[in-house]
Homo-oligomer: A and B are copies of this chain.
């Protein structure tokens, strides 16, 4: 990928940090499957499947650990 999408892990608020964790999680998928059309077709498969939604939340939780540490937990 040649576009710039991540220049800093620092965010103003914990919520913005959580949303950055969402972005990181999606990018982790996109590097393996860059074709937006394929991803779009897969959407029902994961967005209406409890196991996939929980697994997705696990990825977000892991990335949120990184972002929260980077921001010294917004203390």
Contact = CB atoms under 8 A, between A and B. Distances in A.
Band of interface residues on A: 35 or more
Kindly report how many copies of this chain are found in the complex they form together.
6
Contacts of A26: 57
A49 B62 CA distance: 21
Contacts of A24: 18, 61, 64
Contact of A6 (B13, B25, B54, B65): B13
Interface string A24-36: 1111110111000
Given A7-B13, A13-B6, A74-B8, A54 B66 contact: no
Q: Which 5 A-B pairs have the closest CB atoms?
A: A28-B57, A70-B73, A46-B50, A28-B60, A61-B62
